[in-house]
Amino acid sequence: MLSVALLATGCDFFRVLAGRPTSKDIEAKRSAILQESYAAATEQSEEVKEEVKEEVVPSVPADSQPVVKTGEKKRFYVIMGAFSSRENADRYAARIKGYGYEPEFFGFTEGRTAVGIGGTDDQEEAKAFMRELKGQDFCPEGVWILDRKKK
């Protein structure tokens, strides 16, 4: 009888006996944490998204060189993408570098790595930079501004 219960439920049988959460409980908690971290990351940029949504951004000429900012970490960055695999983040950063930008990496919950560019301490400059990027072909639709001091 014990072997039938074990085959039917796997480790969950022993977890229930020990009063521990089942696989279903763990997955539900994991999903809730992911949703909270996504909401927190996107919440800070809602104001910026609304402002940019209404604007028409002219295309940047292909021969113009982007402003590349390097050095110590700044407060604001335009986040181009977030990846669960560091290898994917590295590949994407190499693509961005090919366009003349210097990518920065940021760690998020659940081991995600975000790739950002255009670090600045001026929020208006970050917004202007994001509008400029949105006019370029390589820019993904869901870019947003990270405020590193906002918790």
Q: What is the pLDDT of residues 19-47, one digit of tens each?
A: 888 778 877 777 777 666 555 544 444 44
**φ, ψ of residue 81 in degrees (nearest 5):** 180, 160
- pLDDT tens for 79-104 read 999 899 899 999 999 999 999 999 99
* 99-135 per-position pLDDT tens digit: 999 999 998 877 889 999 999 999 999 999 999 999 9
Say if residues 134 and 80 touch (Cβ distance below 8 Å): no
Between 74 and 12, the more confident residue is 74
Give me the pLDDT at residue 151, please: 58
Question: Model pTM?
Answer: 0.53
pLDDT of amino acid 98:
92
What is residue 58's predicted lDDT score, i.e. its pLDDT? 31
Kindly state the average pLDDT of the residues 51-55. Answer: 37
- CA–CA separation, 63 vs 40, rounded Å? 37
Q: What is the pLDDT of residue 3?
A: 61
Residue-level pLDDT at 8: 58
Q: Are 69 and 118 in contact (CB under 8 A)?
A: yes
Asked whether the beta carbons of 117 and 102 are under 8 A apart, the reply is: yes
